[in-house]
Amino acid sequence: MTNFRSLIRGCVVGLALGLLAACGAGLKPPDVELVGVRLSGLGLQGAMLQARVSVFNPNRFALEASRVSFDLALLDAPGAAERNWVEVASGVLHEGLRVGSRDTLVLEVPIELHYRDIGSALLAVLLAGDLDYRLSGEVVVVRPVQRVLPFQQFGVVDPSGG
Domain limits, the chain: 28-157
pLDDT tens digits, one per residue of 8-42? 443 333 333 333 333 445 888 888 888 887 888 88
Is 0.85 surpassed by the pTM of this model? no
Pick 143 or 117 by higher pLDDT: 143
Alpha carbon 103 to its chain's center = 15
The contacts of residue 98 (CB under 8 Å, 6+ apart) are 62, 63, 64, 65, 105
CATH no., domain 28-157: 2.60.40.1820
